[in-house]
Amino acid sequence: MDELTVISDCIIWHDRVVIPPSLRSRVLQLVHSTHLGETYSKSVARSIVWWPGIDEDVRNTVRQCVPCQLAASSPPRTYISPWPAPNSAWERIHLDYAGPVDGKNYLLAVDAFSGWPVIKLVPNLSATTLKIHVRYMFAEYGLPEVIVSDNGRQFASTEFENFLELNGVKHLFSPPWHPSSNGLVEPDWSILSKDY
């Protein structure tokens, strides 16, 4: 075998150290210590060490690695594209509720153009109350083109939908289980309850 040489008592195959069976499990641990997956681990191993069946041994090591298997079973993170930038104030508003904070609920509206917040203390979370407060906002700031909300029962009610339709306002819902897509109105509103 002209491919093997001995350098400083180490057997070398081409430019890789040949690992005896007694040290292979330790080398596999070192090669996979970063937990960057099978492809990366194979690449590292192939660049510095060799033994017959090394690829299969690396594959088995990764498949038996609990942290790697937990990460592999996680669904890929969904890219959430940003809302298009509005051209003027009150063109698109985002609505949501915050509370209860000290036993009180608030209707939140945020203008997507300016970031201007409107916060209304509400006596209850009914569709009728929502409609009344949104009507006051329309009277004060004008009619928006679009309202974005989550799928809460008040926002999805026929009463509120009819109200928006009569005023020519388009209503968009954020996807269920993805409240962060309602953008500006979804930060941590628990700061309202902090004592300063």
pLDDT tens digit sequence for 170-192 = 999 877 655 555 555 554 444 44
Cite the residue boundaries of each domain of the chain with CATH code 3.30.420.10: 92-193
Higher pLDDT, 101 or 73: 101
Which CATH code for domain 4-72? 1.10.340.70
pLDDT computed for residue 99 by the predictor:
79
pLDDT tens readout for residues 6-62? 888 888 888 888 999 999 999 998 888 887 778 888 888 888 899 999 999 999 998
CATH 1.10.340.70 placement within the chain: 4-72
pLDDT of residue 162: 96
Quick one: pLDDT band at residue 120, thresholds 50, 70, 90?
very high
- Report whether pLDDT(196) > 50: no
Q: How much is the pLDDT for 109? A: 93
Predicted pLDDT at 75: 62
Q: Which pLDDT value is given to residue 46?
A: 87
Three-state secondary structure along the chain? Answer: CCCEEEECCEEEECCEEECCHHHHHHHHHHHCCCCCCHHHHHHHHHHHEECCCHHHHHHHHHHCCHHHHHHHCCCCCCCCCCCCCCCCCCCEEEEEEEEEECCEEEEEEEECCCCCEEEEEECCCCHHHHHHHHHHHHHHHCCCCEEEECCCCCCCCHHHHHHHHHCCCEEEECCCCCHHHHHHHCCCHHHHHCCC
pLDDT band of 79, cuts 50, 70, 90: low
Q: What is the pLDDT of residue 37?
A: 79
Q: Report the top-level CATH class of 92-193.
A: alpha beta
pLDDT digits (tens, 9 = 90+) for 135-163: 999 999 999 999 999 888 999 999 999 99
5 pLDDT band, cuts 50/70/90, is confident
Determine the average pLDDT of the residues in 117-126. 94
* Residue 184, pLDDT score: 56
| Whole-prediction pTM | 0.55
Residue-level pLDDT at 191: 44
